[in-house]
Amino acid sequence: MTSKEKKRRTVTVLLIIVGILILIPLYMAIVIAIKQPSEMTNDIAGALSLPHKWSLSNFAEAIKITDFWHAASNSLIITVVSSIACVLVSSMVSFAIARNMTRKKIYKFFYYYLVSAMFVPFSMLMLPLVKQMAFFHLDNKIGVIFLYIVFNMSINTLLYVGYLKNILQSLEEAAYIDGYNTWQVFTYIIFPMLKPMHATVAILTTLAAWNDVLLPLVMLSGGDGRDNTLPLTQMVFQSQFGTNYNLAFASYILSLLPILIFYLIAQKQIINDVTNGAIKG
Amino acid sequence: MKNRNKTFLAMTLPVIIIFFCFHTIPLFSGFYYSLTNSKGFGVYNFIGLRNYVKLFQNIKVLNSYIFTLKFAVVTTIIVNVISMILALGLNSKIHFKSTLRGLYFIPNILGGLIVGYIFNFLFTFVVPAMAQKIGISALSSSILGNTKTAWIGIVICVAWQSVAFNTIIYISGLQTIPQDVYEASAIDGADGWKCFWKITFPLIAPFFTINMVLCMRNFLMVFDQIMSLTSGGPAESTTSISMLIYKDGLTGNQFGLQCANSVIYFIIIVAISAFQLKVLTKREVQL
């Protein structure tokens, strides 16, 4: 028993050490963000030692220079609206597909059509899409949200249809007999039953949309920067103030913070849903 | 019943049409533009397959393919080896299990661009400073500044982020193996190493397939981390295919040529994924 306990301790200690190593880059980013430029010496201590004086002045300045609240609200709007829209649209389409694909060829075709699009990388469609979106005057926030719904459709359909296939249909049948129409069945019966999948889809979309760079970069670069998301402002900031590392790191931390807080609150759920998304996808 | 069918169609058709307009039409128009000398604006002519010929002669394009493939293969292997080890550790009987899992997952939820900026600083200042102190001259200057080593920096940064995800997948794979299988193999006298190769690994093969396919696909599309680590440099040694399409297609007056590049890129991604699925699913076993 003691040898088993010993082994258990060793593995735990090893894993804790690796865990600390993993967090070093983040620790460094936070420490630098708190320090003043005068404390940045050219050795390891300059990057990793704790600051002499704790101050949040870098953060205050970074918020001002990058117009943080503006970019953050853009990111938030895009992320939240895309997630909600993905849940509503994809669950509705998947319901129709799942209930008809065994009976009708056309729905089976719809299913494979949507799902097979998963293999098309965004960077392949990007060039023609930029032209097309500009033509429709959709090279703005609304266009970005729109494209997130389209590009997440494949994985979402796969997830929802997979889940719907395993839901017992007796409740729906009963509802139809009680005189519900299809819309009512979807709204009152199916939609609430899909709750676990809604969470998965919303979390996957949130993570993808919040952290995405390429799509907003190509869609919004023609504009005046009004709709820039947080990652985009970091890019602009980097090219202008890149040498003031303390300010830059304060700005990076600020843009990482919302998703970190989200993670701390919903940690278990996020890990579960991301795993589900991958295994079923 | 007839009403029901109408409603079902009303639920799907608009979405399918929108999907067609913003997914399938760009796919086809991309193919169309690849046959023209379009610069992305103004008039253009139809030039047949000349872009494709040009593509194979273009050393810049060739280099970006070599870099992207090398990067994707190396990172996939490194990430999967590390993830497997971590998953075995995190799945064994240890203290603080869920806390440790939560901690290991953090890098995965952070945005690749900003993580890239942080690693950029690490490689440019911290690592050289450390190397000088210990006396490793090979690392005394930034690895990102050297055309031969810059890609390693990107591998490290991307691996740091991806390991978490793959580890979690492997853990959920390990949890599907019933305990009595291990007990039986222990009675048969299988030691740790043998047990892993003969029992554990074959049984989590489906999860290995998922990880290999997803890794390869994601790494072939790498963009964010490169943008912030090297922006494709030095001397374009780390320009991935996505990066090249973005840079030259949108700002380099090579709209048509890069559309052709996109088509080839797409074919390669599909081919690699299909090949992986075919080979890997063949060796999956059922308990």
Mean pLDDT of B221-232: 89
Looking at residue B197, the DSSP 8-state letter turns out to be I
Query: Which residue segment(s) compose the domain that A84 sits in?
Result: 72-280
Query: Which residue segment(s) compose the domain that B86 sits in?
Result: 52-282
- Whether B30 maps to a domain, the answer reads no
Q: Is the CB of residue B192 less than 8 Å from the CB of residue B89? A: no
- Whether B136 maps to a domain, the answer reads yes
A167 interfacial to chain B (CB closer than 8 Å): no
- Which parts of chain A fold into alpha helices (H)? 2-34, 44-48, 57-66, 68-100, 105-116, 122-135, 141-165, 170-177, 182-184, 191-193, 195-211, 214-220, 230-241, 245-265, 267-280
**Confidence label for B287 from pLDDT (cuts 50, 70 and 90):** low
pLDDT score of A1 more than 60? no
Q: What is the pLDDT of residue B239?
A: 92
Strand partners, B46: B36
Q: Count H helices, E strands: chain B?
A: 15, 0
- Whether A5 maps to a domain, the answer reads no
- Whether A6 maps to a domain, the answer reads no
B241 interfacial to chain A (CB closer than 8 Å): yes
Determine the longest span between alpha carbons in chain A, in angstroms. Answer: 76
CATH number, residue B253: 1.10.3720.10
Interface probe for B, chosen from A32, A127, A217 (most Cβ of B below 10 Å), is A127
- Whether A28 maps to a domain, the answer reads no
Q: What is the pLDDT of residue B24?
A: 93
The one-letter code for the residue type at B137 is S
Give the chain A residue nearest B86 (alpha carbons).
A15
The one-letter code for the residue type at A47 is A
- Whether B154 maps to a domain, the answer reads yes
Instruction: Give B41's contacts (C-beta < 8 A, 6+ positions apart).
Output: none
Strand partners, B36: B46
Looking at residue B200, the DSSP 8-state letter turns out to be I
Min distance A192 CA to chain B CA atoms (Å): 18
Q: Is the CB of residue B7 less than 8 Å from the CB of residue A182? A: yes
A93 interfacial to chain B (CB closer than 8 Å): yes
Q: What is the pLDDT of residue B131?
A: 83
Q: Nearest Cα to A107, choosing from B4, B12, B2? A: B12
Q: d(Cα A207, Cα A256) in Å, to the nearest integer?
A: 12
- Whether B265 maps to a domain, the answer reads yes
Q: What is the pLDDT of residues A9-25, one digit of tens each?
A: 888 888 888 888 888 88
- Number of structural domains in chain A: 1
CATH number, residue A92: 1.10.3720.10
Give the chain B residue nearest A124 (alpha carbons).
B262
Owner of token pair 């490793």: B136
Chain A, 38-67: which have a CB under 8 Å from a chain B CB? 42-44, 46-48
**Given its phi and psi angles, is residue A207 left (phi above 0), alpha (psi -120 to 50 degrees) or beta?**
alpha
Instruction: Give B258's contacts (C-beta < 8 A, 6+ positions apart).
Output: A127, B244, B245, B248, B249, B252
Q: What number of residues does chain A have? A: 281
In chain A, the N- to C-terminal Cα span, in Å, equals 42
* B3 with A182: Cβ contact below 8 A: yes
Mean pLDDT of B242-258: 87
Q: Is the CB of residue A85 less than 8 Å from the CB of residue A149? A: yes
A8 contacts in chain B (CB < 8 Å): 92-95
- Whether B47 maps to a domain, the answer reads no
- Number of structural domains in chain B: 1
Q: What is the pLDDT of residues A117-168, one digit of tens each?
A: 888 888 888 888 988 888 888 888 899 999 999 999 999 999 999 889 888 8
Q: What is the pLDDT of residues B126-184, one digit of tens each?
A: 888 888 888 777 777 788 888 888 999 999 999 999 998 899 889 888 888 888 887 88
Q: Which candidate from A128, A256, A260 shows the least CB-CB separation from B30?
A: A128
* A113 with B16: Cβ contact below 8 A: yes
| Structure tokens belonging to residue B88 | 């075995």
Q: Nearest Cα to B87, choosing from B207, B190, B221, B246? A: B207
